[in-house]
Amino acid sequence: MSSTADTATGSVPAPTDGRDDPGRLWTVDEHLADILAKVRPLEPIELQLPEAQGCVLVEDVTVPAALPPFDNSSMDGYAVRTADVEGATEEFPAVLTVIGDVAAGSGTPPAVGPGEAARIMTGAPLPPGAEAVVPVEWTDGGAGAGPAAAMAAHSAVPERSGGEVRIHRPVAARAHVRARGSDACTGELALAAGTVLGPAQIGLLAAIGRATVLVRPRPRVVVMSTGSELVQPGEELAPGRIHDSNSFVLSACARDAGAIAYRVGAVDDDAATLRATLEDQLIRADAVVTSGGVSVGAYDVVKETLSGLAGEEGSVAFRGLAMQPGKPQGFGRIGPDRVPLFALPGNPVSCYVSFELFVRPALRALMGLEPVDRTPVRAVCADAVTSSPEGRRQFLRARYEAGDGTVSLVGGAGSHLVKALAQANALVVVPEAATALEAGTEVDVIPLG
């Protein structure tokens, strides 16, 4: 049997006066809206083309000069006057005098007069007097022995840039000629402001001679995990210690979102160390993401330290969200430049899901990219959801098959299950109102990656 769950991304009641109640759970949408309301796109900067890839252009770029800049050949062959090759056949070829070679890059090609041809390479300028290009395959290539398959290399047979060539077919005027300006005309709009610069756009900018462009830069994201139990991968684990995976996941997520990630190793659960590290790092940060230390334990130093910020230091609000995983969250802006700071929960899956739902959209907003969040798709969930916390939106790890529109769950709901997370390619959204779902229910699915 199939039923339909409420869409999880639908409208949510606006926050009421209960907003300041510290016990109130914020909805996912309220928290995201609060973040997006406080994040402004970064100021544009002029970047070299390779650095501008993936960035949003903030200027209209016009074509400064015609592209191609001159008439040029689209084939390796012979530049000819059309009247000279009229009616030519293999049996009765037009025999022309070869006056020289025109290679790509040639600045002053020789003029082609009546009864003459110039051997021309792809991309080389059409010589004065020539009206069309005959591909070498339609000639004897100057060898006098039937149709040529290719030109003789100049290094091997230099005399072929002279002598005679037999042309086996006629050509129409402008045949195999790429006209000046046939790609883009002077003054034409090459790329409009708002364009995201992918490989082809970077290529166009280079082709029209632009070395730099004005774009919104990639945000520099400082990623810091906290916890005295954390040991860096590659190091031996002592009793009670675990490897720091969150700082790696978050850095990878940040890069994936288009940002530049600076991964700071794990910081001990010590307020002074955390403060000092943040102060040091703030100089190179457009955003800061921390993991751990935000719940209700005796060593939850992130919450302890950051909820005490005041004045010039900025402020970070800690709140519970009506979601699972990812209930405890901190968000605020710190330092004189009010750099956005995301204090994510330490449980690895909570941390990852929180990044996807809140940090990724913020980073995209900093870059001026739209849409900021991933668009959910609807799919039929092959598995039953046996339990989901009432009043909380649950995000379950899953494999989504776009082909047949189905999704199946991977692993359980536990927020420590990193292996299952690594097998997932999507999150299934179980709405707040649902405490269970039957197999066959249509659900919202957030594709990942």
Ligand X SMILES: Nc1nc2c(c(=O)[nH]1)N[C@H]1C(S)=C(S)[C@@H](COP(=O)(O)OP(=O)(O)OC[C@H]3O[C@@H](n4cnc5c(N)ncnc54)[C@H](O)[C@@H]3O)O[C@H]1N2
| Chain residues that interact with ligand X, rule: CB under 6 A | 225, 227, 229-230, 242, 244-247, 291-297, 300, 325, 327-328, 345-348, 350, 415
In the complex, what is the shortest distance from the CB of residue 414 to ligand X, in angstroms, rounded to a whole number? 11
Q: Which of 72, 281, 290, 350 binds ligand MOO (CB under 6 A)?
A: 350
Helix (H) and strand (E) counts in the chain: 10, 27
Binders of ligand MOO in range 185-204 (CB under 6 A): none
Cβ distance to ligand MOO smaller for residue 263 or 327: 327
Cβ distance to ligand MOO smaller for residue 119 or 327: 327
Q: Which does 125 bind (CB under 5 to 8 A by kind): ligand MOO, ligand X, none?
A: none
Which helix (DSSP H) or strand (DSSP E) does residue 68 occupy? none
Q: Which of 93, 141, 345, 431 binds ligand MOO (CB under 6 A)?
A: 345
Cβ distance to ligand X smaller for residue 51 or 229: 229
- Number of other CB atoms surrounding residue 68 within 10 Å: 17
266, 226 Cβ separation under 8 angstroms = yes
Q: Which of these, 330, 222, 366, lies nearest to 283 by C-alpha position?
A: 222
In the complex, what is the shortest distance from the CB of residue 293 to ligand X, in angstroms, rounded to a whole number? 5
Cβ distance to ligand MOO smaller for residue 141 or 326: 326
Quote the Cα angle for 219-345-347, to 5°.
115
Residue type, 226: T
Q: Can residue 329 be called a binding residue for ligand MOO (CB under 6 A)?
A: no
Q: Parallel, antiparallel, or unpaired: how do β-strands 230-231 and 242-243 relate? A: parallel
Q: What is the largest CA-CA distance in the chain?
A: 97
Q: Which of these, 269, 277, 272, 300, lies nearest to 222 by C-alpha position?
A: 277
Q: Can residue 397 be called a binding residue for ligand MOO (CB under 6 A)?
A: no
Binders of ligand MOO in range 309-328 (CB under 6 A): 324-327
Cβ distance to ligand MOO smaller for residue 144 or 414: 414
Phi then psi for residue 84, to 5 deg, are: -70, -20
Cβ distance to ligand MOO smaller for residue 161 or 415: 415
Count of residues that bind ligand MOO according to CB under 6 A: 8
Q: Report residue 275 CA to chain centroid gap.
A: 33
Phi then psi for residue 365, to 5 deg, are: -65, -40
Where along the sequence are the contacts to ligand MOO (CB under 6 A)? 324-327, 345, 347, 350, 415
